[in-house]
Structure 1
Amino acid sequence: MPHCSQGSRRCAVATENQVERAGVGASTHTCALPNSFGINCEDESTRNAPRRLARVLHRLPNGTGRNPKRHLRITFPSVGEPRLIIATGITFTSVCEHHVLPFSGHATVGCLPSPGAFVIGISKLARIVREYAARPQTQERIGEQVVAALVDCLDVQGAGCVLRASHVCMARPRGARAQGAHVTTEHLRGAFSYDAALRDCLFDAEAVR
């Protein structure tokens, strides 16, 4: 088996072990929370619920401590004139840092390379969105971090990101209880901030996703 596959498998096993230890260690605390609301965590069907909850909470911010910009280090020579690159339908899930509840949605990310600049593989756009999302976040910050990474790490004329997400904290247990509502945020840098044609391309791509 190739070394990289073995390394990936060891990493996956180590991560699962960390999650399992987190579930065991935090289950006492996660049991106290539902108990405080009168939910019994000691009968047959709910006995393992605190441990499961602890494992879920451990996985949600699993991007904390990672640097998504590392995905932008591998580039390739461009071909021909600079072309607008747009990736649509990038799914992501994050956890609201204000309410510790999930929000999820889709991202549309675009960048316009400078003439003669190297370009990244298109999958890296999805990777940076998902890694910035995989930590306690706000939707606005995710979008700003994505475009900042593209502008800081690549030779581009501009970058743009549109995020559309539904927030559990808005839809169900509290506040407006706005079932089916979505929040859309737009994040523009460089040429995208002043070139209406570029913005239209980005927004049109997001609209037909």
Structure 2
Amino acid sequence: MDAMADKISADDERVRPSREQAEAAVRTLIAWAGDDPTREGLADTPSRVVRAYGELFAGYESDGRDVLDRVFEEVAGYEDMVLVKDIPFHSHCEHHMLPFFGNAHVAYYPRNGVVGLSKIARLVDVYARRLQTQETMTSQIVTAMQDALDPRGVAVMIEAEHMCMSMRGIAKAGSRTVTSRFSGMFLDNPAEQARFLTMVRG
């Protein structure tokens, strides 16, 4: 994946609308929903929504690989699996712009050192804070880990509930979607996949 494709950059060919245009769009949606965007309770809603979107979609401003830019090589020869599990996240479905949320489990086999554990959680946030599909997010985390760390293998599993399925359409609250992707040792050896899954469930 090309670095320039991983984030919206200053010279991106897409033109980002102004804050004023974004707030006008929110007012239009409020009116379309059937309410009055000028009434007291809604008058400041467009600016609040735009501020919230700045936080919710901050992942577009970052390259996931840059999060993993520091590796600790003095780890006393540690070569076994490193697993960070139950990383909570919130994201938004790119099809309906409704939230999906859950936990990510990320493991890797180091080759030339280890990365700070908090960096893995930050990596999950970079991709969660975008319009996403769960499948794409799972793959993006694996690709970023492979590109930045050159590990012997990466395993990622994401479990999430999607509001586009819980709040609308079939309206089945509580159902969860599970996605996974493996590379390197995990992809080549089913026993390593089983070990990863056992550690996650344990």
Which TM-score tier does this pair reach, normalised by the shorter chain? 0.7 to 0.9
What TM-score results when the alignment is normalised by the length of structure 2? Answer: 0.83
CA distance in 2: counterparts of 1:186 and 1:128, whole angstroms: 16
In the TM superposition, what whole-angstrom CA distance separates every residue of 1:103-155 from its partner, at most 9, and x where no partner exists?
111100000123xx222111111111110111111111111111111122213
- The alpha-carbon deviation at position 177 of structure 1 amounts to 0.8
Counterpart for residue 156 of structure 1? 151
Question: In the aligned structure 1, how far is the partner of 2:23 from the partner of 2:148?
Answer: 41
In the alignment, the residues of structure 1 paired with residue 63 and residue 33 of structure 2 have an alpha-carbon distance, to the nearest angstrom, of: 38
1:184 counterpart (157, 167, 178): 178
Q: Which runs of 5+ in 1 are unaligned?
A: 1-20
Query: Paired residue for 2:113, among 118, 131, 143?
Result: 118
CA contact (8 A) 1:89 1:106 kept: yes
Give distance in 2, aligned partners of 1:179 and 1:144.
26
Tell me the equivalent position of 2:103: 106
Deviation for aligned residue 1:25? 4.8
Alpha-carbon separation, structure 2, partners of 1:73 and 1:28: 39
Shift of residue 81, structure 1, vs aligned partner: 4.4
1:76-95 residue pairs with structure 2 within 5 A?
A: 76-77=72-73, 78-95=75-92
User: Does 2:63 align with 1:33?
Assistant: no
Report the TM-score, using the length of structure 1 for normalisation: 0.81
Query: Following superposition, which runs of at least 4 residues in structure 1 exceed 6 angstroms of deviation?
Result: none
Asked whether 1:71 is paired with 2:73, we answer no
Q: Percent identity?
A: 32
Amino acid of the structure 2 residue aligned with 1:190: G
Residue-pair matches, total: 184
Q: Distance in 1 between matches of 2:25 and 2:68?
A: 39
More displaced stretch, 135-144 vs 198-207 = 198-207
CA RMSD of aligned residues (A): 1.8
Q: Distance in 2 between matches of 1:54 and 1:150?
A: 31
